Structure 1
Amino acid sequence: MSIKRVGTGTHTVLVLHGWFGSSRSWQALLPHLDREAFGYVFLDYRGYGDRRGETGRYSIAEAAGDVLAAADELGVDCFSLLGHSMGGSVMQRVYADAPDRVKALVGVSPVPASGVPFDEQSRQLFEGAADSPANRRAIIDFTTGNRLTGTWLDAMVRHSLEHSDRDAFAAYLPAWARTDFHTEIKGSDVPIQVIAGRHDPALGAETMRATFGAWYPNLELEIFPDAGHYAMDESPVALATCVERFLGRH
């Protein structure tokens, strides 16, 4: 497995990307990270980034197993997890499978462990995204509040097209949207921080309180006023500050 590490700190943070992302989608965050306190490891799922062409079941459970295999390859017994969107589901699955190895969880607009329900219009939009760049652009625009420059939207679509295999991208949609294992993590006392963007209409504060807030007694919820679904691009300095302030306590 190709592993990208940033920082030499003893606190290892495994970083998990979203459906439209890859291990490279955190670039705007990198200049603001404390590389002496933390060691960030940016991972790709099968079919994404440096693992394009690698086949599999493209499931949340498989992705979590690959994360644990990466930790073993690194020789890291205990670590924290930072997951964006779909990566929020994966990080919770890692915790469910290996709770003794996880120091803390941080979710950035994370998918709940119960999945995400769609109305019919949204379902068609999302299911068409594998074959339609226009659908991908519309989703990114919608989930950031229809307020950001088209130049950035186009770059996000290009990244998605260039860093994911079509079939993997298509298969991960039902994986994150329909996988429900929330009964396995409900009541967990793991330290967890969730960061929601005020301009995210789907995975915003209300959804986070109804899901993560109901399941994790130690949840710390942060609302970013100037972000939608992509805080690492929209508010990178604030995100690095918030994440490291939380992880520094654990």
Structure 2
Amino acid sequence: MSALSSQITPDFTPPREVVLDVQGNAIAARQWGNPAGVPVLALHGWLDNCASFDAMAPFLHSLNVVAIDLAGHGQSYHRHKDANYTIWTEIEDVMATADALGWEKFSMLAHSRGAVIGTIAAATFPERVRRLALIDGLVPPPTTDEEAPETLRKGIEQRARYRDRKSRVFESIDVAVNARKNGLFKLSDDAARALVERGIRPCEGGFTWSNDPQLMAASVAKLNEPQVRAFLARATMPIRLALGKEGIQGMLERIRPLAEQVPSIELREFAGGHHLHMEGSGEEIAHWFEPFLRGEG
């Protein structure tokens, strides 16, 4: 850790709640830090929300961090039933969100699926993205051309299945927290509670997820390996990638060789699982990212 980084102290001032009009749709967000600081758009992972950055953000107070709830998540709008939740539509929202904030150029802080969205967005519009600070995610696992028909079929069938699916009802917030902490990715009680308090709504019988059930449907199209590499080749801005030593199974083995082939990527491993930024390594990652996002590293 640099001498400058070691002097960074947390700012526990509560975030400012923001709702942005993005092409006629409401994108909810939390704004942290210095409104006059370097603009940073924060993107959470699949089925999470902007509370994903609550633990890190107090250590990034020199920056203007706007952490959004992506469409279908948290308190943001849900897409129409005939629409898709794909990285392509998310990228449109990301760029439109930056426009709504008045940011011509900005950096991104992103986790998991948000990191994939951030990388592809930056490669598509490299003139607008200064830097990427990524956590346990980089690009989507490539598919093969031969898998395309089954990918399409699976996506269509799952969209029909989840279109009108009712979300589970929990009798209390504590029950929802327990379900979230024992889900696909194990979470600490504090991390699960942060996501749940942002990601539920009252309903008859208690509480239910505010996420759109259609988020559970698989994509109808995926990138093949040459396409993945083409996007990576266009992401020439400085990139820092934090990977969890106990993250998604196979993530280190898949991502490290790929990242090491890209000169713009600096990779570091940290203790923790997939949500390492919400738990024990959050402060350490923030100290690594903060001067970098200011343009000093």
Is the CA contact (8 Å cut-off) linking 2:48 and 2:195 kept in structure 1? Answer: no
Query: Aligned runs of 1:33-182 on 2, under 5 Å?
Result: 33-34=60-61, 37-55=62-80, 56-115=83-142, 137-141=182-186, 149=188, 151=189, 155=193, 158=196, 162-167=209-214, 169-171=215-217, 173-174=218-219, 178-180=222-224, 181-182=227-228
The residue number in structure 1 matching 2:32 is 6
1:240 aligns with 2:289: no
Q: For residue 103 of structure 1, report the CA deviation from its aligned partner.
A: 0.4
Q: For residue 116 of structure 1, report the CA deviation from its aligned partner.
A: 8.3
Instruction: After superposition, give the CA deviation of every residue in 1:183-231 in whole Å (9 maximum; x if it has no partner).
Output: 33233422111100111143643322123333x2121001102x11112
Aligned length: 228
Is the CA contact (8 Å cut-off) linking 2:118 and 2:132 kept in structure 1? Answer: yes
C-alpha distance in structure 2 between counterparts of 1:233 and 1:152, whole Å: 9
Shift in CA distance, 136/63, structure 1 to aligned 2, threshold 3 Å: farther
Q: Name the aligned partner's letter for residue 273 of structure 2.
A: G
TM-score, scaled relative to structure 1? 0.77
C-alpha distance in structure 2 between counterparts of 1:93 and 1:186, whole Å: 8
Pick one of 23, 44, 67 that aligns with 1:17: 44
Is the radius of gyration larger for structure 1 or structure 2? 2
Is the CA contact (8 Å cut-off) linking 1:49 and 1:164 kept in structure 2? Answer: yes
C-alpha distance in structure 2 between counterparts of 1:109 and 1:140, whole Å: 13
SS at match of 1:46: coil
Shift in CA distance, 186/54, structure 1 to aligned 2, threshold 3 Å: closer
Q: Name the aligned partner's letter for residue 104 of structure 2.
A: D
Is the CA contact (8 Å cut-off) linking 1:110 and 1:203 kept in structure 2? Answer: no
SS at match of 1:223: strand
Q: Name the aligned partner's letter for residue 274 of structure 2.
A: H
Query: Aligned runs of 1:180-199 on 2, under 5 Å?
Result: 180=224, 181-188=227-234, 189-199=236-246
C-alpha distance in structure 2 between counterparts of 1:83 and 1:107, whole Å: 5
Cα-Cα RMSD: 3.3
Shift in CA distance, 154/38, structure 1 to aligned 2, threshold 3 Å: closer
Pick one of 15, 24, 28 that aligns with 2:55: 28
Shift in CA distance, 9/152, structure 1 to aligned 2, threshold 3 Å: same
Q: For residue 4 of structure 1, report the CA deviation from its aligned partner.
A: 3.0
Q: Gaps (5+ residues) in structure 1?
A: 118-126, 142-147
Judging by fraction of residues, say which structure has more helix: 1
